Structure 1
Amino acid sequence: MAQDGSGAPGRAGLGALFDAQAVAVLGASDDPSKFSGRPYQLLRQGGFAGRVYAVNPTRATVQGDRAWPDLASLPEVPDLVVIGVPAARLADAVRDCAAAGVKAAVIFAGGLAETGEEGRALEAGIAAIARAAGMRLLGPNCMGAMNLRARLYATFSNTAEDPAPELGDGGIGVVSQSGALGNFMLTRAFDAGIPVEKWITTGNEADIEFAEALDALLDDPRLRGVVGYLEGARDGPRLRAALERAQAARVPVALIKVGATEEGGRAVRSHTDALVGDDAVYEALFRRTGLRRAHTVEDLLELGRVFSTGARSRGRRLLLASISGGVGVIMAEAAVRAGLTLPPISAGCAAALRARLPFLSPSNPLDVTGQGGSDFALLRDALEMGVEDTGADMVICFLGRVARHEETVTAYLDLLDAMQAERPDVLFLTAGMFTPEQERRFRARGRLAFADPSRAVACAETLAALNESFARAAEPAPALPAPDLSAPDLSALRLPRPAGTPDEAACHAMLSVAGVPVPDHRIAKDAAGADAAARAFDGPVALKILSPDLPHKSDMGGVRLNVAPGDAAEAFAAMLADVSRLAPHATLRGALVMPMATGFEELVIGARIDPQLGPVVMAGLGGVFVEVLGDVAVREAPVSEASALEMLRSLKGAPLLEGARGRAPRDLPAAAAAIAALSRLAAANADWLGSIEINPFALGPEGAGGQALDCAVTLADTQTEDPA
């Protein structure tokens, strides 16, 4: 099969969208203000070096050029066709493109899948025509694509008419599922002077979808970063592969991610489904691959501006210098909140700084006062001595209003160039009252300047985090243990799909297969069996109704706690009566009898299978932490025990597990082992598992281990109602 840009099997790649040498506009209008006329005008007048053909059977000329009656009459087969006809004529247009051997087509028209069943059928039909011919489709209902370096404008965006920032050695890519928002992002990027290499909007995604478009952008060696807008991924594995590819290639990616998949609209059955929603699943992927998430277009484009310079940081050590002590404090506090390190100035360096610069406050941040802002020789001495002493990876210097003066900016840029030549591994950032033109001067010299010093700190954190992500690359997923094919069904990690929703006894058996500790227990079919089971244990017991229909047993009277062995028969009969009254249609299979557990901390551990992105695992503290605060950590499954331990330590309630306020430290390695084991079980059975939850996992003191006291499993494609 053909290979696309990601190396995954598929039809021909997307090269024609960005590298076409011959382009036809089908349905080209003589009026360049129309969406079927603007692409032709842009291609003819925008500097595109390839061949452009106007195809319109109703006209002899289009915008002063010869018009061709159909694709078959052209002197060559175009690589790319921009289809500017309405939805009613799309099927014929796509059929003509396929018959001519066109590599790719862009469809602007709306009124298809987004309008209802008839539109969905039309869209599916044109996708099938293209697929049979090996032709790629962008859209429909999109604004197209652009290669700005090649001046290849397969779009009706009027922003393409505006002067584009100089590309120089490289720029960013823009990818958006929304055409209008993609156009807005492009406009704002132009306004901010951010160089854009390539731009693509995917619309309805009848064929080319977001992840494949992102992957295609990564083929450009000049690409310095990608920003985009994502509502939901149609192809989760491809999105994961594209983000891993970007991470391995050290290309930063930032997205606004909104919306949810169909799974997010389903009623929930467990804490795992409620807490590990679609957004949490995406967040787990983003965290692992180092993607930077933005929530506003302004923040997204600020990241794009940073990416476009190619700036990098080697670590989190930050030296601050400011002509204002107050601004220095603001930056220092922002740096601490961001997790950056402010290494202190040593006593020896402080003495040397005072000897050279008596006016300076020798700490980090360095308060260089107004004198440092007016005498750059002194400022350079302070910065060089501070960097040498602290081993700083990054420097932020706040110049205040002196940054308004042209001669100051020129002198300061020359100073940075000289310092950078001596310290190529140190990143120098600058904040001050810059005008937009002065910010552009910095960018032209490959420097970053910020009007807000807090944004400079945010940039430093971004670059430090990206460095860590690139160094980490994509950690290899823990290997799944090979199934023991000679063992009984439940002794192999890869389990057959249950015929129906498992009851708790079956869930415990699954956990045992995975290596998650479960308490000793007995199954009692009647009151006499409950009495015998309870007397087999030393001390009070718990009785829990056994039913595949009652995931929340306590709501239906199906739990009895602290039952004395001699009272088990009576407790069983009363529990059975309550459940029969409150849930008359539930299938009842007796009760689980197990010893009462004491002296433990409650955890909630769960996993679910996202329909697009696959298995994820969740862990959190029980009680108020999960019920009210939603304090959970989510990662892609499977995870290693080291990653599981990191999950636990990332929780807001983690200090309670580590012995805060005189509490006994808990057995975190045991919890991490259970999380990792559950994640492997979920990953191995992702084809049929919906979710699996342990609530609670009873975690004992250090060295005492833990055990799953309660477990529930849902199957994939099982619609359930919210028990609340």
Structure 2
Amino acid sequence: MGIESLLRPRSIAIVGASDKVGPGLNAWNALQHVGYEGDVHLVNPRRAELLGQKAYATLADIPGTVDAVFVAVGAEAVAGVAREAVAKGAGALVILSSGFGETGEAGKAAQAELVRIAQEHDLAVCGPNCLGLLNFTGKTALFGTSLPDRIERGGIAAVLQSGSVGIALLNSARGLGFSYVVTSGNEAVTTAADYIEAFLDDPAVTTIVVFAEQIKKTAHFIAAVRRAREKGKPVIVLKSGRSQQGQQAVMAHTGAVAGSIEACDAALADAGAIQVFSLDELIETALLVSELQQMPKGRKAAALSLSGGEIALALDMAEEVGFEFAPLSADTAAGLKALLPEFAHIANPLDLTWAGLYDPEVARGCARSITAQDDVGMLVLVQDAPFGLGAQQAARYSALLTSVAAGAKDTGTPLVALSNLSDQPHVQLNAAAKALGVPYLRGTRAGMTALARYGRWAATGASPARDGIASAFAPLARARMSGIPASRLATESEAKNVLGAYGIAGPRERLVASPDEAVRAAQELGYPVVMKGLVENLVHKSDAGLVKVGLKTDEDVRSAAARMLESAAAVKTGAVLGLLVQEQASPIAELFVGARIDPDFGPLIVVGAGGVEVELYKDVAVRIAPISEDQALEALQTTQVSRLLNGWRGKQPGDKKAVAKTISALSTFLSDFASEVSEVEINPLAVFREGEGCSALDCVIIPKQSNPDARHQTSDE
């Protein structure tokens, strides 16, 4: 695909050129704005001359070849222009026109025809339904709307499906410095992934920003983000359309708690993207990442301020967004105490008091002392900078920033300034920050979120790409699966047997056919016991009356078995397969562990609180599978239920190592059987005291070719 012709064309034709206000004139003005030095040809069948130069009736009339064509004509004429562009040897089109895949069937057909032409002739296409693109470093523009008088140049390359978001960023007063701005529109041919790949080896690009309404060619996109991470170029992604409305009902719980949005989030995190959730967050994060002159040295930070009250605000937000402040060592505390008045509260964040404001050496010394700690990866000056500051106060605050910057420089620690106000920073303060190379973030939430996410990005790398090689456990599991009739789903006991090949343990249990056999099984296992009725293709049994816990006597078991066989016979999903008698567990906690194949992002593993409320509370962590035991433990620790396993209110801690091993094993199973299994679930996973392991009390395996109409939709036990 001729993306080089798209981003750096040697000659350009504007089809629909005009000297009247509109896309044709805007495209011409954009070329003047960036200082384009190549040939520009104007196409307008009604004019012989335009904008002081010759105009052509058609592309065919232009002498020689054309590298890229900007198209600003009606949708019905676009395919014809595309064919003419091919005949002129063009490698790229930018199509402003709407009325394609974003509309009805006719528009979708028109887009399909455009895609066919592009693929047959290796054309790169920006759009359709876009504003076009700007390459500031290459002095190229194929852009159809007006531009502000001044646009900061810098290392940010933005790929934005929304033209409106492009206008917002280009006109923002935050002074983002751009190398490229691409409004990609429908991405019918050339997608965000293609642009990201084109930016990877461009030294003018240090930071990549993506606004996606829909991620096209997801595997390609995730691979491109991963390569950017490996090259040390942060990719900041804002994905819209996070509503869960319209999701189809699913057989097991996993799809309900890990839908397409959760899958996307997991894939982006796995690839090493920095994900944001609003335009404010995107702007502050992009400003931070592109302007900070060195990466944070670690994820923990130190902070200085002149206000105890504003420190409290910062601490509140830091806890909410996961931004960590390093505890002060005894040596650091002593050094700070020697610099500050007796009444100063020595802590991190540190209140500099009036001494830090009026004595530059105090401010510099405090910055130097606190950043000398090995675990301080960056320094944050929490200092409001309202636009309306008086000259005297602005001068004082600028001097403070200069002193703190000098102290941070003494220890080679990156410095960021943060105003708790979302107001535009004061001109003098902003200028001082620019001169010092210090990003000045605004807004407690957006700024602190940017700091937290970039700190985590700097401290961790992308997960290694999966190689798809089956584990050593797969042959035994496949052999066990082969014994399950293809006409039905695996029963709970059969599913446990398959997962047992991966070392996933379940409770002691017996499969029986009658009340008498159930009593003998209960006697062997020891009371109390649990009884379950097994029916073909019935996944969730409790709402059908086929689960009974706390059976303590022979008579309890006999009576429950008789009633359960009657209830099982009434279920319409298939034949009765028997009764499962299990030892009753007494766990510290019950977890949910599930895995499914997402059609876009592949195998996912989900872990969190178990039981019937899993879909209600959605206290889960989602990761791309497979994951290691360490990654499983990290995922578990992000859930609220992990607090139970840590020894909640003096209770015994749970066996987290055993849980992590089970999570990792289930993720490996699904990865090994991704072509055969769509979903697998353990709910609940009983967790016992530390050192005593865990047990899969119920299991479900859903093959890819199973018939959803044959399944009974009920709640889990």
**TM-score class, shorter:** 0.7 to 0.9
Query: Structure 1 residue aligned with 2:459, among 468, 480, 484?
Result: 468
Aligned pairs for 1:574-653 within 5 A: 574-581=563-570, 583=571, 585-600=572-587, 601-623=589-611, 626=614, 628-653=616-641
The DSSP-based 3-state class of the residue aligned with 2:325 is: coil
| 2:540–2:713 CA contact under 8 A, matched in 1 | no
| 2:5–2:68 CA contact under 8 A, matched in 1 | yes
Structure 1 residues 565 and 20, CA, compared in 2 at 3 Å: closer, same or farther? farther
2:424 aligned with 1:438: no
Aligned pairs for 1:410-489 within 5 A: 411=399, 415=403, 418-419=406-407, 421-427=409-415, 429=417, 431=419, 434-436=425-427, 438-450=429-441, 457-469=448-460, 472-475=461-464, 477=466, 480-482=469-471, 489=478
Letter paired with 1:226: I
Give me the whole-angstrom Cα distance separating, in 2, the residues matched to 1:76 and 1:161: 34
| 2:301–2:377 CA contact under 8 A, matched in 1 | yes
Determine the structure 2 residue equivalent to 1:346: 330
Determine the structure 2 residue equivalent to 1:382: 366
Determine the structure 2 residue equivalent to 1:7: none
2:72 aligned with 1:84: yes
Deviation at residue 695 of structure 1 after TM alignment: 0.9
Give me the whole-angstrom Cα distance separating, in 1, the residues matched to 2:559 and 2:346: 77
2:3 aligned with 1:20: no
| 1:38–1:156 CA contact under 8 A, matched in 2 | yes
| 2:511–2:579 CA contact under 8 A, matched in 1 | yes
Deviation at residue 248 of structure 1 after TM alignment: 1.5
| 1:323–1:373 CA contact under 8 A, matched in 2 | yes
Query: Structure 1 residue aligned with 2:479, among 490, 512, 518?
Result: 490
- Higher deviation after alignment, 502-511 or 668-677: 502-511
Aligned pairs for 1:663-702 within 5 A: 663-702=651-690
| 1:229–1:255 CA contact under 8 A, matched in 2 | yes
Give me the whole-angstrom Cα distance separating, in 1, the residues matched to 2:243 and 2:703: 18
Give me the whole-angstrom Cα distance separating, in 1, the residues matched to 2:522 and 2:430: 76
**CA deviation digits over 1:253-284, x for unaligned, max 9?**
22222226999621133321111122221222
| 1:359–1:369 CA contact under 8 A, matched in 2 | no
Structure 1 residues 496 and 234, CA, compared in 2 at 3 Å: closer, same or farther? farther
Letter paired with 2:193: A
Deviation at residue 531 of structure 1 after TM alignment: 5.8
Give me the whole-angstrom Cα distance separating, in 2, the residues matched to 1:343 and 1:487: 50
Structure 1 residues 602 and 130, CA, compared in 2 at 3 Å: closer, same or farther? same
**CA deviation digits over 1:107-140, x for unaligned, max 9?**
2222122222222122112201110111122221
| 1:609–1:691 CA contact under 8 A, matched in 2 | yes
2:309 aligned with 1:326: yes
Deviation at residue 45 of structure 1 after TM alignment: 5.7
| 1:398–1:431 CA contact under 8 A, matched in 2 | yes
Structure 1 residues 352 and 407, CA, compared in 2 at 3 Å: closer, same or farther? closer
Determine the structure 2 residue equivalent to 1:515: 503
Give me the whole-angstrom Cα distance separating, in 2, the residues matched to 1:351 and 1:681: 54
Letter paired with 1:55: V
Deviation at residue 666 of structure 1 after TM alignment: 1.9
The DSSP-based 3-state class of the residue aligned with 2:501 is: helix
Deviation at residue 453 of structure 1 after TM alignment: 6.5
Give me the whole-angstrom Cα distance separating, in 1, the residues matched to 2:485 and 2:85: 46
Structure 1 residues 525 and 437, CA, compared in 2 at 3 Å: closer, same or farther? same
Determine the structure 1 residue equivalent to 2:535: 547
Deviation at residue 638 of structure 1 after TM alignment: 0.3
Determine the structure 2 residue equivalent to 1:119: 107
Give me the whole-angstrom Cα distance separating, in 2, the residues matched to 1:495 and 1:20: 61
Give me the whole-angstrom Cα distance separating, in 2, the residues matched to 1:400 and 1:117: 53
The DSSP-based 3-state class of the residue aligned with 1:29 is: coil
Give me the whole-angstrom Cα distance separating, in 2, the residues matched to 1:488 and 1:380: 64
Give me the whole-angstrom Cα distance separating, in 2, the residues matched to 1:604 and 1:542: 19
**CA deviation digits over 1:186-217, x for unaligned, max 9?**
322xx221111111122222112233333333
- Report the count of equivalent residues: 701
Determine the structure 1 residue equivalent to 2:175: 193
Give me the whole-angstrom Cα distance separating, in 2, the residues matched to 1:482 and 1:391: 38
**CA deviation digits over 1:593-624, x for unaligned, max 9?**
23222212311110011111111101112248
Deviation at residue 415 of structure 1 after TM alignment: 4.0
**CA deviation digits over 1:494-535, x for unaligned, max 9?**
999955543334423331233322334444455666566556
**CA deviation digits over 1:654-692, x for unaligned, max 9?**
121122223232222221111111101111222242221
| 1:175–1:228 CA contact under 8 A, matched in 2 | yes
Give me the whole-angstrom Cα distance separating, in 2, the residues matched to 1:486 and 1:461: 44
2:50 aligned with 1:66: no
Structure 1 residues 437 and 16, CA, compared in 2 at 3 Å: closer, same or farther? farther
Percentage of matched positions with identical amino acids = 28
Letter paired with 1:578: S
Aligned pairs for 1:70-469 within 5 A: 70-158=58-146, 160-165=147-152, 167=153, 170-188=154-172, 191-259=173-241, 265-311=247-293, 312-335=295-318, 338-344=322-328, 346=330, 350=334, 353-354=337-338, 362-388=346-372, 392-398=376-382, 404-405=391-392, 407-408=395-396, 411=399, 415=403, 418-419=406-407, 421-427=409-415, 429=417, 431=419, 434-436=425-427, 438-450=429-441, 457-469=448-460
**CA deviation digits over 1:26-53, x for unaligned, max 9?**
2x23244222342133225641112111
TM superposition score normalised by structure 1? 0.87
Aligned pairs for 1:657-668 within 5 A: 657-668=645-656
| 1:507–1:713 CA contact under 8 A, matched in 2 | yes
Give me the whole-angstrom Cα distance separating, in 2, the residues matched to 1:221 and 1:252: 14
**CA deviation digits over 1:193-251, x for unaligned, max 9?**
11111111222221122333333333422222222322332322122212212221222
Give me the whole-angstrom Cα distance separating, in 2, the residues matched to 1:220 and 1:355: 46
- Higher deviation after alignment, 67-76 or 641-650: 67-76
Give me the whole-angstrom Cα distance separating, in 1, the residues matched to 2:484 and 2:341: 75
Letter paired with 2:151: A
Letter paired with 1:586: T
| 1:615–1:683 CA contact under 8 A, matched in 2 | yes
The DSSP-based 3-state class of the residue aligned with 2:590 is: strand
Determine the structure 2 residue equivalent to 1:5: none
| 2:323–2:449 CA contact under 8 A, matched in 1 | no
| 1:353–1:385 CA contact under 8 A, matched in 2 | no
The DSSP-based 3-state class of the residue aligned with 1:546 is: strand
2:694 aligned with 1:706: yes
Give me the whole-angstrom Cα distance separating, in 1, the residues matched to 2:517 and 2:188: 60
The DSSP-based 3-state class of the residue aligned with 1:192 is: coil
Deviation at residue 458 of structure 1 after TM alignment: 4.5
Give me the whole-angstrom Cα distance separating, in 2, the residues matched to 1:231 and 1:127: 20
Give me the whole-angstrom Cα distance separating, in 2, the residues matched to 1:385 and 1:310: 21
| 2:382–2:419 CA contact under 8 A, matched in 1 | yes
Q: RMSD value over aligned CA atoms? A: 3.4
Letter paired with 1:381: G
TM superposition score normalised by structure 2? 0.88
The DSSP-based 3-state class of the residue aligned with 1:265 is: coil
Deviation at residue 373 of structure 1 after TM alignment: 1.6
Give me the whole-angstrom Cα distance separating, in 2, the residues matched to 1:416 and 1:534: 73
Give me the whole-angstrom Cα distance separating, in 2, the residues matched to 1:707 and 1:627: 21
Structure 1 residues 551 and 260, CA, compared in 2 at 3 Å: closer, same or farther? farther
